[in-house]
Chain A
Amino acid sequence: MDVKKLISELKSDDELTRREACRALGDSPVQEAVRPLMEAFRDESWLVREAAVEALIKIGGEKGVSLLLSVLKDQDARVRNSAVEILTGLGESAISIVMEALHDDDENIVRYAADVLGDIGDRKAAGSLIQALKHPSIDVQYYVIQAIGKLRDESATPALLPFLDQDMWLQSVAVEALGAIGDRRATSKLISLLNTDTFIKAQVAEAVGRLGDPSAIPALLSSVKEGNTELNHAVLQAVVAIKDKGTIPFEISGEYKLKEEAITSACLSALENPDNDLRKAAAILLGWLKAESAVNPLTEKLKDNDEEVSGSVQSALIEIGKAAVKPLLSFLSIPEKRARLLAVNALGDIGEEKSAESVISMLSDDDDDIRRAAVSVIAKLKSKKALPTLLKLLGDESEKVRGASVEAVSSYSMDEELFGKLLSMLNSSSHLIRRSAAEVMERIVDERAVQELEALLLDDDPAVKQAAVFALARIEHIKVGSIPVMLLGSEDPVLRKSAAIVLGDLKDRRAVDPLCITLNDENMWVRYHSALALGIIGDNRAMKQLVQGLDDPVGVVRLACVKALGGIKDPPCDERLLKIADDEDEDVRKTLVEVLPIFPSVSARDAVLRLLSDTSWRVREAAVLSSEKISPPLAGSLIEPLAADSNQFVREAAKEVLSRI
């Protein structure tokens, strides 16, 4: 790389050339490039200046840092700006020198040094910054406080509290800093500020919200003031923010009861605000307050454009309960689909039986989403009156409606009359109804349906056949045995697949040989279910084939074979399984980890422990849980670092296991 050429390109007429030259110089850091790059700070194009900044960050160095500090005094805002950015970008390596600069005579240097330390964010600087609070200049104090806030170091809280008594300029930055630090020690002083007539009340409320201390809620709510929308909105969001942080045993009582109307009205006005987060907070609060007086305007907000808001409104209405039923019922016939769905589902969750009357008409709506929702809600409300219509919907043209109806009908208590109707539906002329009725039979598991179901095994429609196979399997009727094996030879892959599933459920040993054949089926899901079934049956005649399956081109089949080998539990298995630890598919590796604890061998144990550092979080998590089963004491020290894993689920699993060891 020709450094001289690049340096001369820094003077090119074309800004893109100059920018590229900066970038290239940064990529191969050379000391001679430092001065020319610093001149590039003054470039008229900010694209070039930015590239110069990044290049200088890469080059770094102690001399560079001192040079940069002196540049902080420069007349030109652009240059100062760039110097600050570079120092921030240098991060840890620049900290000690920049901390020195806090003692400089020149106010500007101190100020910018504070800025840089705040942006670097390393808590090592906390002590020096706290000392710098003593500086006589308000300007400096302002930026030092701000920097301290960015460090988020709780040790600074006591030093900041006195600034809440200062004039508003410093008060404001101190409030902000305390909010950012999040130390609850600041709560009471901030609350007392809330009770004064300060200009920055809303800002204080927001900071209190960030601290998250539930004891602040009464004070926050009582500071709600008629007409002061800015404050009220900040209060609402602060209360919700605190509430979100944990359960709060708090009752609106006594003096705060007087404020309930003011709070409710503040929430109602917030519901009209263009800010989505604010509307959401208002809805949450109204639900929490169980504000019955607000149900009408609240229900209107089911039409809100923002999904999170309308979702929160729905939850609030459910919390308010019976008082919301009337307005919700009126929403069942509006044109806005999304709001209708929210309303009907809310009625289902509130659970007042009388709502069922109005919901019944939705069962014949043109839109299948509406029909489907109505079906689920009717089932929740347990309306007997709706049963005939539900039965009709078992033959609905829409799959999701049929599916929901099957679930719904199955949830009713099965009396003679209902059972009789379902039985006759198994002979319906509509294949959709035959199928749904068979699916219901699968759920209610009644032997009296066996004859009809057997007849369906010869049905024309494959979906009906499949449903019959599953239903009979659940009833565990002996005659079923040979039929699924026959179906393994069907031309339809869906039937072959269902047959495999059922044979596994039945644990039918006669199926082992046929299933070993379907392990080589052309359809991957047939192979998958065949493997799983062999694992459930657990006969080690299948071992050879399953081991061959470990080389299947499709990951999900390999995974099923791994699982199945775990079901067979034959000691020679584990050697062949171990190479799976390097499988390219994370789900396959994860399944291996789950299965290995079954094998007592040392190599199996080592494989599990090795996979604790797998690249995929799913594998690591499974490895944590498996390690516990293998050898708790050894595992303990290896699991410990995972309590600080980058992934939350791995962390949770690690902490849970460690607490048990």
Chain B
Amino acid sequence: MLENKISPKEFVIIRDLVKERTGIYIRDSRSDYLEYRLKDRMLATGIHNFEEYYYYLKYNTGTSGEFQSLINLITVQETSFFRNPDQLKSFQNVVLKELIDDKNKSGQRTLRVWSAACSTGEEPNTLAIIINESLPYLFNWDMEIIATDISTRALDIANKGIYDEQRFKDIPQGITEKYFTKNNRGFLAKETLSRLIKYQHLNLTTDFGKSPAISKQKFDVIFCRNVFIYFPDDVKERIATGFYNSLNPGGYLFLGNAETVDIRKVPFKMTFLPGGMVYQKP
């Protein structure tokens, strides 16, 4: 029973359901990956028949439903603090500096950053650290990082703020001590960090207009690293357009290393920085 393989048709049915609801497209070559996770969920729910499990997925919606449980399994990400350090240096030394200078001049000391695929929280924490280091008078500023992800499981972990020692191997020593306290389960983010970040569940394909934290404000910087590779072009374009509309004029979008936006379709400007390319809203 456990060892039955899913058929190509069954794979396509699930794949289409996932794509329709989340934009994520699971390539043919990843059918083993999906199958393993489907089996996990079928074991957990006690449903052995594929058709019945499919109905259970389709009709059990909501963040505590079965579909969310499957999504949580499919979207497990490798992530770490200070990932892609060159890009983060460009963020700190060029983008952030420019934003701070401009806002100081205009007197509008508000900074909004969106970490749009925050997974278990390493990225928003990293950004919070960088911003904290760059703005000594942070208390004078209205600064908030909105961190969203489609996985409720990842968000649970992010909200707890406790991380394994392994994840800190690339960070300079002083930083870890300054922002985290060590306890018997690992390192806990201090309040100075966690109060800067607000976590929220968000499905980039369906929730853009619905989430107040996103739709009722505009951002200065958006980070969306290493999820675009899972989306087909039409979905990428839609999400990129959503990002474009969510940015202030002059705002920046950072994607992952080999990820791109078709600027013929979404009118960002490509800007070259030492750590790589970034997109800017004109």
Q: Footprint of B on A, CB under 8 Å?
A: 47, 50, 307-308, 311, 376, 399-400, 403-404, 407, 524-525, 528, 554-556, 559, 587, 618, 649
Contacts and interface: CB of A to CB of B under 8 A. Distances in A.
Contact of B44 (A308, A376, A399, A618): A399
A311 B32 contact: yes
B266 to A, nearest CB: 12
Contacts of B12: 649
B264 A587 contact: no
A524 B40 contact: no
Interface in B1-45: 1-2, 9, 12-13, 29-30, 32-33, 40, 43-44
B89 interface: no
A407 B30 contact: no
B2 A555 contact: no
B40 A400 contact: yes
Contacts of A525: 56
B1 A407 contact: yes
Interface string B227-270: 00000000000000000000000000000000000001000000
A400 B55 contact: no
Given A399-B44, A524-B59, A587-B55, A618 B13 contact: yes
B2 A407 contact: yes
Contacts of A618: 13
14 contacts: A50-B264, A311-B32, A399-B43, A399-B44, A400-B40, A400-B43, A403-B43, A404-B2, A407-B1, A524-B59, A554-B59, A556-B58, A618-B13, A649-B9
Interface residues of B, number: 18
Interface in B29-75: 29-30, 32-33, 40, 43-44, 46, 55-56, 58-59
Contact of A403 (B44, B58, B59): B44
Contacts of A587: 55, 58
B30 A307 contact: yes
A466 to B, nearest CB: 8
Contacts of B40: 400
A307 B2 contact: no
Contacts of B32: 311
Interface in B144-166: none
Nearest to B41: A400
B117 to A, nearest CB: 19
Nearest to A314: B32
Task: Give the one of A47, A307, A403, A554 with max B CB within 10 A.
Answer: A403
- Could you tell me the dominant secondary structure of chain A's interface residues? helix
A130 B58 CA distance: 54
- Could you tell me the dominant secondary structure of chain B's interface residues? helix
Contacts of B43: 399-400, 403-404
A294 to B, nearest CB: 22
Nearest to B8: A649
Contacts of B2: 376, 404, 407
B256 to A, nearest CB: 14
B1 A400 contact: no
A407 B40 CA distance: 13
A308 B29 contact: yes
Contacts of A555: 58-59
A191 B58 CA distance: 52
Contacts of A559: 55
A556 B13 contact: no
A404 B33 CA distance: 18
Given A556-B55, A587-B58, A618-B13, 13 more contacts: A47-B264, A307-B33, A308-B29, A308-B30, A376-B2, A399-B43, A403-B44, A407-B1, A554-B59, A555-B58, A556-B58, A556-B59, A559-B55
A556 B53 CA distance: 12
Nearest to A401: B43
A649 B33 CA distance: 22
Contacts of B56: 525
Nearest to A557: B59
A621 to B, nearest CB: 8
- List the 9 closest A-B pairs by CB distance, nearest first: A403-B43, A556-B59, A556-B55, A399-B44, A407-B2, A308-B29, A400-B43, A649-B9, A400-B40
A151 B117 CA distance: 43
Nearest to B40: A400
A528 B13 CA distance: 21
B77 to A, nearest CB: 13
B42 to A, nearest CB: 9
A376 to B, nearest CB: 7
A619 to B, nearest CB: 13
Contacts of B30: 307-308
A450 B55 CA distance: 33
Contacts of A404: 2, 43
Contacts of B29: 308
Contacts of B59: 524, 554-556
A88 B264 CA distance: 19
A316 B32 CA distance: 15
